[in-house]
Structures are given as structure tokens and as C-alpha cells.
Amino acid sequence: MTKHSSEKMDPLVTKIAFANIGMSIVVLGFKYIAFHVTGSVAFYSDAIESIVNVITAIAAFIAIKISSKPADDDHAYGHSKAEYLAALLEGILIWVASFTILREAYKAFLNPHPLDAPMMGIGISILATFLNGAWSWLLISKGRKNRSPALEADGKHLLTDVYTSGGVILGVLLVALTGWQRLDPTLASLVALHIIWSGWELVRDSINGLMDSSLPEAELKRIQETIAANLEGAIEIHHLRTREAAHMTFIDFHLVVKGDMSVDNAHEISRRIKNALKGLHANSVISIHIEPESKRKKEGSFTS
């Protein structure tokens, strides 16, 4: 079998993704109990979102396992884009959950009913929200550090869940204190609308990743500066292109050298630039096409 260049993902990411499934189930259990003891549609909306969390945690774990596989003959650039598919699935499931919540909120608005044991439900929901908050912070920080879109997407969604849960808790408390029963389904509707927006953000980011969007302008400038600082012996570079796929970064460009330069010298310049770029992006695939001076470009190029 042909060997392909690929960087390994930190095994810690896979372990966290697996633990995320268990944590999602625990939080779902607490939120369901809060709904069960109160009959609150707002707590129901919170529990429905946690069902989505469990499903997407499983999807993220599978995607990360696939993404961490090394490149092979059928996937020469690796499997890292599998994570974007998981994040896209999460966004779609969030939309489905939001419409389910809206339906139940509509029914409850037409037929309001008093809440049972609201203070007990609030206490249980606070515990679930605290767990979600701590866990979302861990997922986001580890996801960013290890360039894992699936892990970071899960963390962002859980963080959104923390904010909405806080609003739901305050709202249910107001229902208990004021007796305004229609406030409960109104809160559930607001939660659903917020979930729709967070789902859109996940879908948008996933599509950008699947469409091979370039690196952000600030990061692109750092790459150009790094190349320019290590361009000694060469003339210029042009046709610089970048893209990222989960934890992998892809960089390619044309390196112009003097026509009579030896292959060894051109290779040494190329190696020096690659090593410097690896300092910026350890998990990167860098392709450099060496060209003679006659291929210099007047536009879209830069020198040291």
C-alpha cells in the first residue's frame, strides 16, 4: 500500500468525544426528571435539546474516529472532513428539535395548566445546567486546541444550551411566583427560536469547511510573513492557496528560483520554508512547486 503524509490527531480528543456521550446522557436524565416532576413545556424544550445532544455526541465521536484515521490509497488527503459532516448533522437535528418544541409550545399555549413541584424541577435543572457549563468549556477549549470542528461544535451547542437553560429556569421561577401559565409555553417558543439560530450557525460553518474555504485573513498574513522570512536564495512565490479540514491545514504555492540553481539547493530552500510553516501549523500538508525565473509573476507574488 502507498504511504501518504498525514498528521495524527491527539488521542485525547477521541477520549473526550467518548466521554461526551456519557455526560450528555447524564444531563438528559436530569432535564427529563425536571420536566417529569413539573410538567413544564419549557423544561420539556430543554430536555428535547439534550436528546439532540446525545445523538450528536455519538455522531461526533464516530466522525472523530474516522477523521483520526491516517490517509490511504482511497483518501490520499486523509479523512478529516468527516468532522464537518458531523457538525452539519448536528445543525440539522437542532432544527428538527426546535420545530418539535414549537409544536408542543403551541399546544400548551392553547391549553395552559399549572406546574407541579416547580421548585424541585428548578433545583434539578440548575444542577444539569452547571454540568453542561463546565463540560461545554472543556469541549470548546480542547476542540480549538486540537483543531476539531466536531468537538468545538458540540461545545458551542452545549454553551448555547447553558444560556437557554438559564433563561428557562428564570422563566419557570416567574411562572411559579406569578401563576401566569402561558409564560411557560412562551419561554419554550423563545428557546426553539434561539435553537434555530444556533443550528444555522453550525450548518453555515460546516458548509464553509466542506467547500474548502481559505484560512482567515490574519492567519494567511502570518503564513505569508513566515514564507517571506525564510525565502533567502529564492526569488519569489506566487499562487499561494490555503484551506483547512478539521485539524489539518493545506498550504500550496509556486516557488520561483534562478534557472541555473541546482536541485539540491532548491530542495533545501523548500525544506526550510516547510519547517517554518510547520511551526505555525503542525498538522499541515505543504506542497511547493518549484519553477525557474522565467515563470516570475508581476501580480499575486511576493518576495522576502
> Collapsing DSSP states into helix, strand and coil, what is residue 243?
strand
Residues 6+ apart with CB under 8 A from 254: 237, 238, 239, 288, 289, 290, 291, 295
Q: Could you say which DSSP state residue 251 is in? A: E
Q: CA-CA distances (angstroms) from residue 22 to 57, 74, 93, 217?
A: 9, 33, 19, 38
pLDDT reported for residue 304: 54
Other Cβ atoms within 10 Å of 1 Cβ, number = 5
Could you say which of 3.40.718.10, 3.40.50.2300, 3.40.50.720, 1.20.1510.10 is the CATH number of the domain covering 11-210? Answer: 1.20.1510.10
Q: In this predicted model, what pLDDT tens digit does every residue of 45-101 receive, in sequence order?
A: 888 878 878 877 887 787 777 766 766 666 656 566 666 777 777 778 778 878 888
Q: In this predicted model, what pLDDT tens digit does every residue of 109-142 receive, in sequence order?
A: 888 888 888 999 999 999 999 999 999 999 898 8
| Distance of alpha carbon 97 from alpha carbon 178, whole angstroms | 29
pLDDT in tens, the chain (304 residues): 334 444 455 677 788 888 989 999 999 999 999 999 999 988 988 888 788 788 778 877 877 777 667 666 666 565 666 667 777 777 787 788 788 888 888 888 888 888 888 999 999 999 999 999 999 999 898 888 877 766 787 788 788 788 878 888 988 998 888 888 888 888 888 878 877 887 787 777 777 766 667 788 888 899 999 999 999 999 999 889 888 766 678 899 999 999 889 999 999 999 999 999 988 887 788 999 999 988 777 655 666 5
Site of grid cell 426546535: 98
For residues 131-170, one letter each, b for 16 or more C-beta atoms within 10 angstroms of the residue's C-beta and e for the rest, the string is bbbebbebbbebbeebbbbbbbbbbbbbbbbbebbebbbe
Q: At the topology level of CATH, where does 217-302 sit?
A: Alpha-Beta Plaits (3.30.70)
Q: Tell me which residue of 19, 95, 25 sits closest to 61, measured CA to CA.
A: 19
Structural domain boundaries in the chain: 11-210, 217-302
| Distance of alpha carbon 37 from alpha carbon 35, whole angstroms | 6
CB 236 within 8 A of CB 301: yes
CB 17 within 8 A of CB 60: yes
User: Whole-prediction pTM value?
Assistant: 0.61
In this structure, the strands spanning 284-292 and 301-302 are unpaired
On the 0-12 / 13-18 / 19+ scale of CB atoms within 10 A, 207 is: middle
